[in-house]
Structure 1
Amino acid sequence: MNRHPEEMDGSVRIISVGVSRNDGAIGAVDEAVQQLGTWGHCFVLAFLPESLDHTAVAEALNEKLPGTPVFGCTSGGQITPQGYEDEALLLIGFPRTHFRCTSTLICPLKPVSIQETALQAKTLATRFRSTANWRHFALTFADGLSKQEDVLVAALDAGLGDIPVFGGSAGRGLSYDVTYILHDGAFHENAALLLLVETNLQLETVRFDHFTATDTQLVVTSANPEDRIVHEINGSPAAEEYARLTGYSIDELSPTVFAENPVLVRAMQSYHVRAIQEVLEDGSMTFLSAIENGLILALGRGKEIIETMQGELRACHRNGEEPGFVLGFDCVLRRLEIEQKSLRDAASSVLRQNRVVGFNTYGEQFGGIHMNQTFVGIAFYPPEREFDL
């Protein structure tokens, strides 16, 4: 007999979770759906590994969860109740007792119209009837290769006003070839999902990285903003100058070097990572976030990544009360650094202890900003009347 999610043993509470490592789409969906239980779900989030056929997964979900909206995307990795994984289908069921939702698909995503996207978001919010004393937040999952997330999240933030937007860019392992967004029973390319959610649960925002800015500056002196390509830094070929400043040769530059030596941009009082994707044959560099001529960047210096993760996740506890769960969007480059340092088991332990579920992204969105190498999430607590008991 299936028990209500709030009565489940284990680390994750309030929601129900299904995980399958089956290498076939039909078998994986069947196994994961069975773990969700029979309690009514307002909606389900699905995060797929690179190995599963997304079309077959969509068809199987439609069959196994008829009448239940399922949203999600392909991912750079999954965060299950066991921690980091890369071959797991993850389903997260959000019960109707605590959640209501409405959604819209932005497709095609590229090019983003700021005015139309903001209006679309505002219209969705206006038509979504509010329940007294319930709280609103929005989730967005966007094509992680569209290079449109910066404009998208700014437009959504403008359209939704005081409704906070949290999100992650869809990935597909470390392939950087194509990503897919799940909405209305099918996966879509060149698309973004906006999911507006209402809940009677208490919420806390979680956002952190593990870098501090140094005094070493990098000024973008020649760039192609539309394609996020930087040709020159400090008046020299981009890769050559970056290699010089970080103490590597051009041949040594790799995703691991980029992850451990990020460049940061200052927005208001905070610094955000503008992650480097790769070096091109002509010595230019492609980025995973917005870039423009004249942009001043600072070379970042890393702090201890596991200690930072533990401290920041512990900091979101309310009066010593642990959250029922944390919905987390964690950059795939953070995970890459963790694995290169042989810290995956330690990181997974921290994620388990703090009840984190979610996925590894190609970029994160919060506060109207698209960023990289950051953990963004929401910590959920029981309703206020329960929390105060």
Structure 2
Amino acid sequence: MRDGVTGPRHVWVGQSSAAEAARAVDEAAAGFNLRETCFVLAFVPKGLCLDEVGGALQARLGGLPVFGCTSAGQITPDGYSSDALLLLAFPKAYFRCASVLIEQLRPFSFSAIAAAAERQEVQFQHTAGWNRLALLFTDGLSKQEDLLVSTLETVLPDIPVFGGSAGDGLDFDETFVLQGGRFYKDAALLLIIETSLGFKGFSFDHFQPTDEQLIITGADPEDRLVFEINGAPAAQEYARLVGCARDALSPRIFAENPILVHHKGRYFVRAISDATEDDALSFMAAIDDGVIMTLGRGKEMIETLRTGLDLESTKRERPDFILGFDCVLRRLEVEQRQLSREVSEIFREARVLGFNTYGEQHCGVHMNQTFVGVAFFGPDGPGVL
């Protein structure tokens, strides 16, 4: 027990900030019961040698299935971290798992991906009384998450899919997904999970639409580039709408003034990563010519976070733990507002474990600047809440 907050009972958690891969893996896995573990999730910080991490995981965990990705930050039992190797070991008593590695996202093949997902779902024998969900980890620079999550939503209609795009700090350099001891680029990993635990999926952000609408009048959808908004150079028009000089555009301005798209009865964030020298805007989710979007404005972030994580089962039971996919742009805003300590405390109290992403997937939609989570409850409660 630590400051009145106990750790989760239904997942084992380990972390290490060691700079050497083998030591980090050894420290993070020290408390695991490998004989009773079904699979392990690994969220890998920037700076560790990936080949060495992969080899160390295979050697230390005795060949257990290991999945995960590189991360733009980690959510540990102590809250936010930037250099922690975070390992989550899921016990056989409560979890079963099957995986599909999609090794090539470009060019995107709907038929091949749909067939692979359907085949694995059918071959994965169902355990009576257990319920299924899916986790999706994707190369965060592949720009294929929108097509991928909508495909999976179509072919797995009875399985809720929750996902996060692999990250790499704010460098937007290289991102990878992990299966076994290998890291893959231009790839995605689908985990179909059965659990005896009750679970509840959710997502939230801290933005609300304004009355300011934008029409994309020139774009390259494949590369998520917008050249014109309302018939004007995109960066100049965006700067005018948010009330700043073109030269003042920055990650902070983009984080605090996102663009929203209305879909399935709610607004989702389409974040901007940067502005190019020729006044184009680079987006982190799908865009296209003719799309009507809305400028967003922020709400109170801390209160929104507390409310979003205030979850209970139908028996008024608090989550045992929450697996969280938290956008790196949310973390950037937290740090700029000097709220890291307060946010970390909220995560700690809610037992949130996970990583900072380059994008989030939920309800068949790829989005940004959003927290997507799966809250797991006790095994004696109802299944999908």
User: Match of 1:23?
Assistant: 19
User: Match of 2:327?
Assistant: 331
Cα deviation, 1:54-105, whole Å, max 9, x if unaligned, reads 1100000000011310000000100000001110000000000000001011
The alignment partner of 1:22 has SS state of coil
1:158-173 aligned within 5 A: 158-173=154-169
Tell me by how many angstroms 1:180 deviates. Answer: 0.8
Query: Is 1:245–2:236 an aligned residue pair?
Result: no
Runs of 4 or more above 2 Å deviation:
9-13, 35-39, 315-320, 384-387
The alignment partner of 1:60 has SS state of helix
Query: Is 1:221–2:217 an aligned residue pair?
Result: yes
Is the 1:36–1:92 contact (alpha carbons within 8 Å) kept by the matching residues of 2? no
CA distance in 2, matches of 1:208, 1:39: 37
User: Match of 1:113?
Assistant: 109
Query: Is 1:232–2:232 an aligned residue pair?
Result: no
Tell me by how many angstroms 1:113 deviates. Answer: 1.1
Give TM-score scaled by structure 2 length: 0.96
User: Match of 1:302?
Assistant: 298
> Aligned Cα RMSD in Å?
1.3
The alignment covers a number of residue pairs equal to 379
Is the 1:278–1:285 contact (alpha carbons within 8 Å) kept by the matching residues of 2? yes
The alignment partner of 2:31 has SS state of helix
User: Match of 1:197?
Assistant: 193
What runs of 5+ residues in structure 1 fail to find an aligned partner? 1-8
Which one-letter code corresponds to 2:335 in the other structure? E
My pick for the range that moved more, 144-153 or 315-324, is: 315-324
Which one-letter code corresponds to 1:20 in the other structure? S
Is the 1:316–1:379 contact (alpha carbons within 8 Å) kept by the matching residues of 2? no
What runs of 5+ residues in structure 2 fail to find an aligned partner? none
Query: Is 1:210–2:200 an aligned residue pair?
Result: no
CA distance in 2, matches of 1:13, 1:66: 23
Given the alignment, which residue of 135, 138, 144 partners 1:139? 135
Which one-letter code corresponds to 1:206 in the other structure? F
Tell me by how many angstroms 1:201 deviates. Answer: 0.4
Cα deviation, 1:191-238, whole Å, max 9, x if unaligned, reads 000110000000111210001111100110000001000000000000
Is the 1:213–1:300 contact (alpha carbons within 8 Å) kept by the matching residues of 2? yes
The alignment partner of 1:36 has SS state of coil
CA distance in 2, matches of 1:33, 1:159: 35
Which one-letter code corresponds to 2:232 in the other structure? S
User: Match of 1:4?
Assistant: none
1:1-389 aligned within 5 A: 10-38=6-34, 40-316=36-312, 318-384=314-380
Give TM-score scaled by structure 1 length: 0.95
CA distance in 1, matches of 2:173, 2:77: 28
Is the 1:111–1:148 contact (alpha carbons within 8 Å) kept by the matching residues of 2? no
CA distance in 1, matches of 2:226, 2:46: 29
Tell me by how many angstroms 1:317 deviates. Answer: 5.2
CA distance in 2, matches of 1:79, 1:384: 27
